[in-house]
């Protein structure tokens, strides 16, 4: 069962205990013969306890999950090491030891609500996301500039930027000031956040650009859209759910579609923050893993000194469109609009996003991935704690708790629909979703 690896055949995945990091580790280990090393300090588990978050499927320690991988796939190329990225000396030692060809950094405090909970969490978010990231770049620059560094960014960096187009590269911009035309030469699209988490991601992005240029590094930033889903092909079968990714459904760490899906399954009203017109990029966990694996291949060239930016998404939908999509699965479900605990821009421009050629923008897979997620969530319905779904963290600290207003609709309920007829097969579920989307 042992496998021999040489230098250059190793991939380091930082944040390997996380939702995306673990999924990437499984996929790289099973689909290639490379040595895959998961790196994490396990701090997310502590944050979840502090925030009262729970997982849909209980998650064992990394070593136990890796043992399950080895037992199922009869491969020994996946391992775990506990390292805190805030320890620069430990990061350098890690890179020198494993001599990776690729480092994927998905290590981050990933929650906007967590970052807005209190001053301590805002500072923790900046420290973890920015300083840890900077330590990795310093270590790469001092150790091996040939390493391809793939950094997980966020499409939310543009959450407060009202634009009709997001280019991948730097552009020349013109504007008018006091009646006179002015220019900005070779700049990225201005980024504006609405929370401290996304503000940290803006800093990450600019640090990537600086370090790539100054140190002649091979850097890719993935401006990641909202990911949904629970499984990839390595852990989709019920017999392999011991390998499942972390699945948050609470109001602090969950993504909107995962949260909506859990509400749907337990018959809880689907709760939309505000009027629901705010849009988000959307992509499945499976598509995200496949796209990042493609970026890690030698065939995806990164010019040293040139910061390569990737927009990773397959759909752009409003929050209300996402809710209505799920309501097509169960027409009896209630959709409620509650007061928005966040401060989100109501943009007026219809945004077009430029997509890199390495990204597979396969829009036809959405229906299949939603059906997979529905089946998985229903299987663990008994684990859902309804009490942690509704938001309790406010952007404006003087506003009233939105949970107390959750029964007051900001808009009328949807018209009464015909009685719900249970969908008896995945095929019929797909047909309903297909008719709605396409």
The CATH number given to whatever domain includes residue 378 is: 3.40.50.720
Highest mean pLDDT among 185-199, 319-333, 336-350: 185-199
Residue 137 maps to a domain: yes
What is the CB neighbour count within 10 angstroms for residue 255? 21
Residue 46 maps to a domain: yes
Residue 120 maps to a domain: yes
- Number of independent structural domains in the chain: 1
Q: Taking 80 as the threshold, does the pLDDT of residue 402 lie above it?
A: no
Domain holding 222, by residue range, is: 10-437
Residue 2 maps to a domain: no
Q: Taking 80 as the threshold, does the pLDDT of residue 53 lie above it?
A: yes
Helix (H, G, I), strand (E, B) or coil at 245: coil
Q: Taking 50 as the threshold, does the pLDDT of residue 50 lie above it?
A: yes
**Residue linked to tokens 């390997």:** 16
Q: Which residues of 128-139 are buried (b: 16+ CB within 10 A; e: fewer)?
A: bbbebbbbbbeb
At residue 2 the predicted structure's pLDDT band, cuts being 50, 70 and 90, is very low
Check if the beta carbon of residue 106 is closer than 8 Å to that of residue 21.
yes
- Determine the distance from the C-alpha atom of residue 254 to the mean position of all C-alpha atoms in its chain, rounded to a whole number: 10
Q: Which two tokens stand for residue 116?
A: 């807005």
pLDDT number for residue 432: 44
pLDDT number for residue 366: 82
The whole-chain average pLDDT of the chain stands at 90
Check if the beta carbon of residue 132 is closer than 8 Å to that of residue 106.
no
pLDDT number for residue 214: 98
Q: Which residues pair with 310 in a beta bridge?
A: 222
Helix (H, G, I), strand (E, B) or coil at 177: strand
Whole-model pTM: value is 0.90
Residue 125 maps to a domain: yes
Residue 4 maps to a domain: no
Residue 312 maps to a domain: yes
pLDDT number for residue 4: 54
Q: Apex CA 109: angle with CA 302 and CA 224, to 5°?
A: 40
pLDDT tens-digit profile of 202-240? 999 999 999 999 999 999 999 999 999 999 999 999 999
Q: Apex CA 360: angle with CA 66 and CA 159, to 5°?
A: 90
């Amino acid at each position: 069962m042992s496998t021999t690896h040489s230098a250059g055949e190793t991939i380091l995945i930082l944040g390997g205990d996380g939702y995306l990091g673990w999924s990437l580790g499984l996929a790289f280990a099973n689909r290639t013969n490379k040595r895959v090393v998961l790196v994490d300090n396990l701090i997310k588990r502590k944050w979840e306890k502090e925030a009262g978050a729970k997982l849909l499927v209980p998650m064992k320690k990394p070593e136990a999950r890796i043992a399950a991988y080895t037992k199922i796939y009869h491969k020994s190329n996946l391992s775990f090491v506990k390292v805190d990225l805030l320890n620069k000396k430990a990061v350098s030692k890690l890179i020198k030891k494993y001599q990776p060809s690729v480092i994927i950094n998905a290590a981050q405090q990933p929650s906007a609500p967590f970052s807005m909970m209190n001053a301590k969490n805002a500072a923790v978010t900046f420290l973890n996301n920015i300083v840890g990231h900077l330590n990795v770049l310093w270590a790469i620059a001092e150790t091996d500039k040939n390493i391809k560094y793939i950094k997980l960014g966020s499409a939310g960096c543009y959450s407060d930027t009202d634009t009709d187009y997001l280019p991948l590269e730097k552009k020349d911009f013109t504007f008018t000031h006091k009646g006179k035309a002015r220019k900005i030469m070779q700049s990225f699209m201005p980024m504006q956040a609405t929370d401290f988490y996304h503000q940290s991601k803006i800093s990450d992005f600019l640090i990537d650009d600086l370090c790539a240029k100054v140190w002649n590094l091979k850097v890719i930033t993935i401006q990641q859209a909202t990911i949904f889903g629970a499984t990839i092909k390595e852990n989709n079968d019920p017999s392999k759910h011991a390998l499942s990714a972390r699945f948050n459904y609470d109001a602090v760490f969950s993504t909107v579609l995962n949260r909506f899906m859990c509400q749907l399954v337990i018959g809880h009203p689907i709760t939309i923050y505000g009027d629901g017109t705010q849009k988000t990029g959307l992509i499945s966990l499976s598509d995200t893993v496949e796209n990042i694996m493609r970026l890690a291949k030698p065939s995806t060239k990164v010019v040293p000194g040139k910061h390569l930016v990737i927009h990773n998404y397959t759909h752009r939908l409003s929050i209300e469109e996402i809710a209505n999509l799920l309501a097509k699965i169960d027409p009896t479900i209630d959709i409620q609009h509650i007061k928005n605990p966040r401060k989100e821009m109501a943009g007026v421009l219809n945004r077009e996003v430029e997509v890199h050629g390495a990204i597979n923008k396969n829009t036809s897979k959405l229906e299949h991935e939603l059906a997979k997620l529905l089946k998985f969530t229903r299987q663990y319905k008994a684990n859902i704690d309804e009490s942690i779904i509704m938001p309790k963290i406010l952007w404006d600290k003087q506003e009233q708790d939105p949970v107390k207003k959750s029964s007051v609709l900001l808009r009328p309920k949807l018209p009464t629909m015909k009685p719900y007829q249970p969908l008896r097969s995945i095929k019929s579920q797909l047909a309903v979703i297909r008719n709605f989307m396409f």
